[in-house]
Amino acid sequence: MKIRLQKIIADAGLTSRREAERWMSEGRVKVNGNVVTKLGTTADPLSDEIRVNAKLIPRSQERVFIFLNKPANFLTTMGKDERGRKTVMDLLVNVPCRVFPVGRLDYNTQGALLLSSDGALTKKLLDPKNKVPRNYLVKVRGVPNEKTLRRLGRGVRLDDRPTMPLEVEIDRVSGKNSFIKIKMFEGKNRHVKRVCEVVGHSVIRLKRTHFGNLNLNGLPLGAYRFLSPREIKSLEFLVENTKIEKLIKRRPPAMRLKPTQTKR
């Protein structure tokens, strides 16, 4: 099936449709070896070879999901760092197609990072409306009291906008500091660190332990593994299950039928 090139590029998670159109006009997109600049051009994502900036976009049937236990001091980016710092892509070898991070972890943050070649599912997983959970273990200065925990639970304001409610509990106390568990359903820039700072508990160390229903059990720091088809289906189920729940909530209550009266 033929689809507009800008949509194929956007669905691959590389950029927005508008930016993809700009790339096309600049001659940065090729289809089967030919530069394409006409914005109305279509291609078949299953059979055509599509390259953006000389890099091949994986065909739609080539879905690869990688689960990485990211070490600290690695950037979550696909490109080279101008300062020469290492990126998560430096940890990946023998990957059959182009993958990109599903969201991001800060430079000093370690833990669960999902990478994928499926741009469409990536967008759904990152959409706060779908409430895909991310779990963190956070070492903070001080010990939050019950009032602070309730405040985090309600959500705080970042960039003059309220965040979604968080699920927060104290895991353990270590001297004057503490470890807290946080579950959230959205991912703003430096989200965990900023919400903790707002309530007066700066972050000392941060680790993401779960993404959706995936955890780090048995995965050493710096190592990665490919997701099984069953695990990929479970990620899809997370998103689709949210849609089903929304439809149920929107469904009008069933009409109550009056019982039929019988003649005596």
Give residue-wise pLDDT tens across range 230-262: 999 999 998 887 554 544 455 555 544 455 544
Residue 59 has pLDDT above 60, yes or no: yes
Strands of 117-185 (E only): list them: 134-141, 157-158, 161-162, 167-174, 177-184
Give the rounded percent of residues in the chain with a pLDDT score beyond 70.
Answer: 88
DSSP state of 75: B
pTM (predicted TM-score): 0.71
27: closest CA among 5, 44, 43? Answer: 5
Domains and CATH numbers, the chain: 3-56 (3.10.290.10), 65-127+217-227+238-244 (3.30.70.580), 133-211 (3.30.70.1560)
Active site residues: 106
pLDDT range class, residue 200, cuts 50, 70, 90: very high
Q: How far is CA 71 from the centre of its chain?
A: 18
Highest mean pLDDT among 78-92, 115-129, 167-181: 167-181
The pLDDT, as a whole number, for residue 255 is 45
Residue 60 has pLDDT above 90, yes or no: no
The pLDDT, as a whole number, for residue 256 is 45
**Which pair of tokens denotes residue 58?**
């994986």
**Which pair of tokens denotes residue 133?**
């959970």
Return mean pLDDT, the chain. Answer: 86
Mean local confidence (pLDDT), 117-126: 89
The pLDDT, as a whole number, for residue 45 is 76
The pLDDT, as a whole number, for residue 61 is 53
pLDDT tens digits for 7-47? 888 877 677 888 889 999 999 999 999 999 998 899 887 77
Residue 166 has pLDDT above 60, yes or no: yes
